[in-house]
């Protein structure tokens, strides 16, 4: 199996080098960039399997890097590093295409564990069907796409995993804690609001009227469930 390639875009040399050492020790191939522009170029030429992206960079900020990389590759998992813990920054980061957040100061071990979890889940060959209908939306977990009529939208890594879980438990409420544990792999860092943000994004791709969902339903005080009529 070829080594997974990780691109680290981070301007603080000791953090970049610390991550490179730790990730190489884990058997990953690592490239680093200290500027946003260099990072975008490396993402274009190197096509990494995962991106670790600092929010505060000296030239182009992390949001813009994230948007540009997303245009290039809608599927690559992107983990943002940020010193800011404000909810507004997380929401903005997720809206421009980040999959996950780690707030500085962070434990390198935890970040490594989260990356390993991403690759482990991506490598699983699940027995469950990879394509199914939700209303008139055709979901394909393998190609990471949802099609409605002629419109095809890409699904990010976590959107796929969230749909996989909800579909496997269709008709049954799934708590936010269970979603965090099974989709994000670790329950420490992403907040419950992260789950809510991903549901909002999924509804836009799947629901006929995203503001009045009929398939991905809120279960008050618990979490979410996929309506059984969906399958
Ligand atoms: Ca920085």
Please tell me the least confidently modeled range out of 5-9, 122-126, 143-147: 122-126
Average pLDDT over residues 160-174: 91
Q: What is the DSSP letter of 206?
A: H
Cα 88 to middle of ligand 1, angstroms: 18
Residue 231 pLDDT exceeds 90: no
User: How many Å lie between the centroid of ligand 1 and the Cα of residue 34?
Assistant: 9
Structure tokens at 144: 């990471």
Provide the percentage of residues in the chain whose pLDDT is more than 70.
87
Cα of 50 to ligand 1 centre, how many Å?
Answer: 19
Domains and CATH numbers, the chain: 5-123 (3.40.50.2300), 131-226 (1.10.10.10)
User: What pLDDT was estimated at residue 92?
Assistant: 73
Q: What is the pLDDT of residue 121?
A: 67
Average pLDDT of the chain? 86
Sheet holding 174-175, edge to edge: 174-175, 223-226, 216-219
* 133 bridge partner residues: 138
Residue-wise pLDDT for 30-70, tens only, equals 999 999 999 999 999 998 999 999 999 999 999 999 999 98
CA 55 to centroid of ligand 1, rounded, Å = 6
CA of 61 to the centre of ligand 1 (A): 9
Say if residue 83's pLDDT is above 80.
no
Structure tokens that stand for 57 in this block: 């960079």
> pLDDT, tens digit, for every residue of 190-225?
677 888 999 999 999 999 999 999 999 999 989 999
* DSSP line for 28-63: -EEEEESSHHHHHHHHHHH--SEEEEES--SSS-HH
Residue 122 predicted with pLDDT over 70: no
Instruction: Report the separation in Å between the CA atom of 31 and the middle of ligand 1, taken as the mean of its atom positions.
Output: 17
Q: Rounded to the nearest whole angstrom, what is the distance from the C-alpha of residue 70 to the centroid of ligand 1? A: 20
Do 227 and 215 meet the contact criterion of CB atoms below 8 Å apart? Answer: yes
Tell me the pLDDT tens digit for each residue of 178-194: 888 888 775 456 677 88
What is residue 116's predicted lDDT score, i.e. its pLDDT?
A: 81
- What is the rounded CA–CA span in Å between residue 141 and residue 175? 22
Ligand 1 centroid distance, CA of 16 (Å): 10
Rounded distance from Cα 10 to ligand 1 centre (Å): 6
What is the model's pTM?
0.62
| Residue 63, token pair as written in the block | 């949001």
Query: DSSP for 85-108?
Result: --HHHHHHHHHTT--EEEESS--H
Please report the sign of the dihedral spanned by the C-alpha atoms of residue 166, residue 163, residue 5, residue 51. Answer: negative
- Looking up tokens 């599927």 gives 75
Residue range 170-180: mean pLDDT, rounded: 90
Gap from CA of 2 to ligand 1 centroid (Å): 30
């Amino acid at each position: 199996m070829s080594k997974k390639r990780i691109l680290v875009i981070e301007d603080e040399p000791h953090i970049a080098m610390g991550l490179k050492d730790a990730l190489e020790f884990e058997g990953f191939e690592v490239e680093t960039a200290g500027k946003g522009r260099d990072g975008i170029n490396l993402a274009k030429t190197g096509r990494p399997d995962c991106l670790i992206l600092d929010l505060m960079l000296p030239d182009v900020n992390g949001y813009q890097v994230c948007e540009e990389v997303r245009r290039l590759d809608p599927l690559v998992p992107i983990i943002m590093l940020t010193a800011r813990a404000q909810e507004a920054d997380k929401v903005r980061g997720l809206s421009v295409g980040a999959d996950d957040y780690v707030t500085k100061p962070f434990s390198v071990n935890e970040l490594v564990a989260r990356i390993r979890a991403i690759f482990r889940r991506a490598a699983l060959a699940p027995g469950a069907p990879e394509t199914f209908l939700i209303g008139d939306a055709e979901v394909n977990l393998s190609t990471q796409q949802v099609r409605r009529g002629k419109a095809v939208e890409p699904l990010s890594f976590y959107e796929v995993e969230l749909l996989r879980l909800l579909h496997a438990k269709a008709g049954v409420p799934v708590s936010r804690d269970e979603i965090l544990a099974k989709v994000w792999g670790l329950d420490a860092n992403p907040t419950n609001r992260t789950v809510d943000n991903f549901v909002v994004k999924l509804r836009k791709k799947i629901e006929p009227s995203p503001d009045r969902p009929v398939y991905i339903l809120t279960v008050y005080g618990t979490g979410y469930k996929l309506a059984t009529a969906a399958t």
